[in-house]
A and B are shown apart, each in its own frame.
Chain A
Amino acid sequence: MINKKAGFTLAEIMVAIVVGSISILAAFSAYNYFQKSYQSISQKAAINGTAREALAMLARDLRNTGYHHVDFANYNCEGLRESQYDYIGIGQKGRTNGYYGQADGLTIFYSISAKERIRIQYFVTKHQNSSDWYLKRVVNINPVGHSRSGCGAWTRNYNMPVDDEILVPYLEDFQIIPKDKDGNVLFPVCTSCSNYENSYGGQVKSKENMKKVHTVDVYLTLRSPKEVYNKAQVTKIINGESPYGSNINVPADKYYRETFFVSVHTRNLAKPIAISEKTGTSIGQTSSYNK
């Protein structure tokens, strides 16, 4: 036959095209699937990591809150009398903060030696020109200044060891709920009280409340840096009990959000007294420190 040429029949080509496109499609969808789960797992791992570190730091600071070295009253560089000590302050309602205007701020004090007292502040703030909010930590040694002789001059280098450190990026909510030993929420507990807190007794009531704080509940809601979901969805964030906590309706978006919680026993505020049944001797705990 003149026209005989070696080649494929139409049926063979059709089968090849079908088989080929199915396998390419399979490969691509597998790739897509891998890409998606990689994205979401790495995002979740990232916020898990930051939250874990931040909560560990918060827990340690809260445990030490209110600790005073036994010689602090006699030797502290700030020249403070015992009645002048602040222990813990929480900027709750009334001070609008964070992207949704409901985040809290936390200020805590404890001494690290007979001479020195530190103030640690956690607050939610915007970072430079970014529209995202961050949890920042600032540590200040002897914030009132050095008024006692033999204490040296106040220097930024020494007295502000942690200056505007970004602890948690992409923060959505930060709630601090102080409770007494029966589990009731204490309010107000503030060091620089707002009008709202002043209408509930302000500084005077706060000073009483500070010593009653037995546990502090900390809520930290973080958002993933990159979008994770295929479809936009609405999120509701409810942290802590109303009216002290937050209640946020987040408009639909594709970000992943997670709330981390820790409840810390403030060992130095509501102090326990244990009485021995055998001897009747009781042991009074005055303060404790966790390096």
Chain B
Amino acid sequence: MDRFSPFQIKIIFVLASVVLISLSVFSYLRINSLLKSSASLNHTNIVKLELESIFSRIKDADSEQRGYVLTKDTVYINQFKSTLSDIKKRQQRLENLTSDNYSQQKNLQLLNGLIAKRIAHMNAVLKDVKATPTLKISTERWLAARAIMSDLRKQTDKMVNEEQFLMKLRTKSLVKETALTPLFTISLIIGSILVLILSYYSINKELKISYLLKSDLEKNNESLALMNKELESFTYISSHDLQEPLRKIQTFVTRIIDSELENLSDSNKIYLKKTNESANRMQALIRDLLAYSRLKAEIFPIENTNLQQIVDEIESTLEEEIHEKNASVVVKGDKELKIIVSQFRQLLTNLISNSIKFSDPERPLSIVIENQLVKGSDFGHKNPVLDKNYSKITVRDNGIGFDSQYKDRIFEVFQRVHNDMNYKGTGIGLAIVKKIVENHEGFIDADGKIGAGATFTIYLPA
């Protein structure tokens, strides 16, 4: 099953957004022009209506004029006047309606000329009849009026036809656009659905994969935690239960040494002493192993502590050994530390004990402990968090040192780098140191030179 990379997912979403947005813009434009077309259609109808009603109003005026000529009743005159003013209003309206159309304006001018001509003719007839009520209007005059009316009819028809032609054009484009709009709407919908399906598919896939990974990880974590727990309890129980028979051996051996020593042969005395020494050594091993197995980070809180205070406490605990080796312990630099106090005390005790154990008998032992604040980016170690602060604690001595090619091995359980019988350790002390450093999520480095001394450098998150 191939997976989408985050970059591909981004591209898909950008493309989908672009498609959706452009489809939306298109359909907006479509609907907009549709609205415009229907508005212009409406316009054509209004112009047509206006033209027709102007013509019929002129006919009205004509019949009112005739009514007066026949009856001499002034009611007709009044009606004739109001009809004329109505005609004027309509002419104005028509002018406004056709203001965007040059050829119709031209036609309108012609129409207005004909209307003026017709009205002037009617006014002249009325004037003559008013002056001499008995006057008979000649047939020529009526025919002239008829001719003007027929011109008017023609001009009106011409304008109506032109408007209709325009309307036809507009309707045609409207039909075209109306036909296209559903297509756009449908493609918009289909596009959206496609994008939706694609998104659903890819997100679902990602979710499934991450769920699988997560449950895998959880399972692994669980089994790891279980294994750790088993290992811890195994170490604890085995070392605890080993203590019991060992204590018996030691007690019985010391019981013989205490009360029966004089009854033994000289060689048996030596064997018994060696038995006792071995038992004591085994006891030290088990004790250290037990201490190692008990180191757990989560139980203990990290506290702000003074380094000098901890060193003072250790010095008083190791007073006898320090005095015996004529050793000096000096603390330099920053005194503030963020640590699991009990564990860090153990760590420093082990390092100082280590220095004491491997001191050079030729010179007094000097141990220098220095602490300074450094940035994670300042030291080229395994995997520091670059922008985090670390307390860099160095413990330096002038003891017998060690070959620096063993510098990684010295932190492993039961690993010792000196085979000289004078320097006997359990091989657990430095493993405990390393475990404590790991409990702090820190790093440790060792460096040494045979005959010159050893330096341990610890980085703890500050």
Q: Do A and B come from one complex?
A: no
Q: Which residues of A contact B (CB under 8 A)?
A: none
